[in-house]
Structure 1
Amino acid sequence: MTAPAFSIPARLQDTVRCWASDRGQAWLEALPGLAAEYLARWELTLERVCEPGGQISLVLLVRRADGSPAALKLGYPDPEGEQEHRALAHWDGHGAVRMYACAPEDRAMLLERAQGEVSLRSLPENKAMLEALGTLRRLWVAPPEAHPFTSVADYVGGLRAELTRRRSLPAAAELTPLVDEALDLSATLLQDTAAREENLLLHGDYHHGNVLAAERSPWLAIDPKPLVGERAYDLAWLAQDRLETLAGSPGPEAAARRRVQRLAADAAVDPERLRGWTLFRVVEAGLWSLDVGDTRHASLFLEFAAML
């Protein structure tokens, strides 16, 4: 089988090598052959590579046998994306791109093509937040019976263990009070969650860059890292969007608090739960970024956490 001639986007190469080292390099080297296999299996014609594409996935713009446009996604086999195909199948195009075919063993999916170059980041912030919340509400549905999705409680339990480990990083020496607050808040939230009945399918990685313009619907979500749990956890990642713009605005602390309050009111969630989950998620992301040497994003995440 002849591998198609294309270049793997630089962002994908850099991210996978940084996050996954030797295993990531082996996956990158196998990508052209894997792409050739699924182009042939699903009778697809390659148009071009989506640039800059995903951080941990290769997206090829293709045509199906009937000439209709689609996108072939080949994802790196990380645990967070293991159930992406099941979430997309359950949504069946309701708020998210539709899935036409999948091969979970290779993290291969044939998807409805959206406009990859036009995300909610192209809109002014207030308009983008309004559209984002409208799309997210469509994704918050009951999961199927006997579903395979990880609960927020179990997933956060793993994150808390990693955050506790990273608390001792030399670069985090001055962050101990902030990390301890994030750990305490998440413990309280998890205890409260055990008594709550909100048990919805969540996107898990919802932000403006993961909502694209499309023909079938004005905006559709992509790239879920699905979990099951409460809406405030999902909304928390949206609350931290556009941190560079927020940090450069007049009165960023007040603006950060207003954003959380406004999102909580618009989504009808408890503002303190949203603030708590937002703080936990950005502190966890900040220390993860420190751990992998991404000091620019670490600084943004942790600065935002301090504002909350």
Structure 2
Amino acid sequence: MTGDRLPGLQARWGLTDPTLVVETHSSLIYRDGARCLKLLKPAGLEEMSGAALLDWWNGDGAVRLIDRSEDAMLLDWIEGPPLGDRVRATGDGGTFDGLADLILRLQAPREAPVPELTSVERHIGQLFEMRDADLDRPKALARDLLATVPHEVPLHGDLHHENILEGWDGWVVIDPKGLVGDPAFECANLFRNPEGRLDLAIDPARGDRLAETLSTRLGHPKGRILAWAAVLCAASRSWNAVAGRDTTDDRLLLSVFLDLHDRAGGSLTA
């Protein structure tokens, strides 16, 4: 059992009173004062790639990783709520520039060697295995995007409003996938979030404003950002289909983002 490992980690890291806060399909999250213990289940072991990225970021724009084992992480406890809480309650107002600032901070060069991370191509690989005519266009877009990557950078890989906490010292990210690839890929998941506000995600005017802000601030072609948003939607649809989950929202969002991509001119490089 996952919890059976707790006493050993408690002794190793000097935890005094770890209290279970939440359990997910992939992990158990404990709080011990100012520290957080994330104990991974077998379904969550892929998150160790994200732990390597947290180590590389060293607390700059991301939660600080204090230590790790082969299946657990000791992190700073971040008190602040997820950005999604604010956007669900009051809308996007003032957040687009903050999101661009955060991406710039995460992608800033660092002296430490880049750790071994998962490629974006491998991450979305399930999409290419799907036999579904409705996915032919996003599959072609994905191939074109992967063939025209300007340069590769470390990526959070799952950057959205629930993985951004509003801490006392600004926004910090949690739960990175730990990918490497096209810098513009980091924007993709922002368009379909936050959870519980599908009305925002399907609003073409909102999507266009977000893409315009990110393009201007980050220097990526607007069409490229929107193409990645569509491709990630298609990848999500493939993951949900294989898992037997509902794909209704994926289908709707894919249509919205493809249309936005076309309206932006359809170019991936200009």
TM class by shorter chain equals 0.7 to 0.9
Structure 2: gaps (5+ residues)? 258-270
TM-score of the superposed pair, with normalisation by structure 2: 0.83
Taking a change above 3 Å as real, the CA distance of residues 109 and 243 of structure 1, as seen in their structure-2 partners, is closer
Task: Say whether the 8 Å CA contact 1:150–1:227 is kept in structure 2.
Answer: yes
Q: 1:273 aligns with which of 205, 221, 224?
A: 224
1:69-88 counterparts in 2 under 5 A? Answer: 69-77=34-42, 78=44, 80-88=46-54
TM-score of the superposed pair, with normalisation by structure 1: 0.73
Structure with the largest fraction of helix:
1
Taking a change above 3 Å as real, the CA distance of residues 258 and 127 of structure 1, as seen in their structure-2 partners, is closer
1:72-111 counterparts in 2 under 5 A? Answer: 72-77=37-42, 78=44, 80-103=46-69, 105=70, 107-111=71-75
Q: 2:166 aligns with which of 213, 228, 231?
A: 213
Q: In the alignment, does 2:105 pair up with 1:138?
A: yes
Quote the offset at 1:126 in angstroms.
3.0
Task: Please name the residue that 1:285 is paired with.
Answer: 236
Taking a change above 3 Å as real, the CA distance of residues 128 and 39 of structure 1, as seen in their structure-2 partners, is farther
Structure 2 counterpart of 1:210, which letter?
Answer: N
Across the aligned residues of Structure 1 and Structure 2, the Cα RMSD in angstroms comes to: 2.4
Task: Say whether the 8 Å CA contact 1:233–1:277 is kept in structure 2.
Answer: yes
Structure 1: gaps (5+ residues)? 1-29, 64-68, 169-175
SS in 1 for 2:214: helix
Task: Please name the residue that 1:234 is paired with.
Answer: 186
Rounded to whole Å, the distance in 2 between the matches of 1:300 and 1:130 is: 26
Q: In the alignment, does 2:141 pair up with 1:180?
A: no
Task: Please name the residue that 2:93 is paired with.
Answer: 126
Task: Say whether the 8 Å CA contact 2:84–2:195 is kept in structure 1.
Answer: no
Q: 1:115 aligns with which of 56, 70, 79?
A: 79
Taking a change above 3 Å as real, the CA distance of residues 243 and 38 of structure 1, as seen in their structure-2 partners, is closer
Taking a change above 3 Å as real, the CA distance of residues 54 and 214 of structure 1, as seen in their structure-2 partners, is farther
Quote the offset at 1:148 in angstroms.
1.2
Task: Say whether the 8 Å CA contact 2:118–2:179 is kept in structure 1.
Answer: yes
SS in 2 for 1:45: coil
Bigger Cα displacement from structure 2, 283-292 vs 42-51: 42-51
Task: Please name the residue that 1:11 is paired with.
Answer: none
After superposition, give the CA deviation of every residue in 1:13-35 in whole Å (9 maximum; x if it has no partner).
xxxxxxxxxxxxxxxxx111112
Larger relative contact order (C-alpha < 8 A, sep ≥ 6)?
2
Rounded to whole Å, the distance in 2 between the matches of 1:244 and 1:88 is: 28
| Number of corresponding residues | 251
Q: 1:50 aligns with which of 21, 24, 28?
A: 21
Task: Say whether the 8 Å CA contact 2:56–2:115 is kept in structure 1.
Answer: no
Tell me which structure has the larger Cα radius of gyration. 1
Rounded to whole Å, the distance in 1 between the matches of 2:114 and 2:228 is: 27
Task: Say whether the 8 Å CA contact 2:165–2:171 is kept in structure 1.
Answer: yes
SS in 1 for 2:29: strand
Quote the offset at 1:190 in angstroms.
1.1
Q: Percent identity?
A: 25
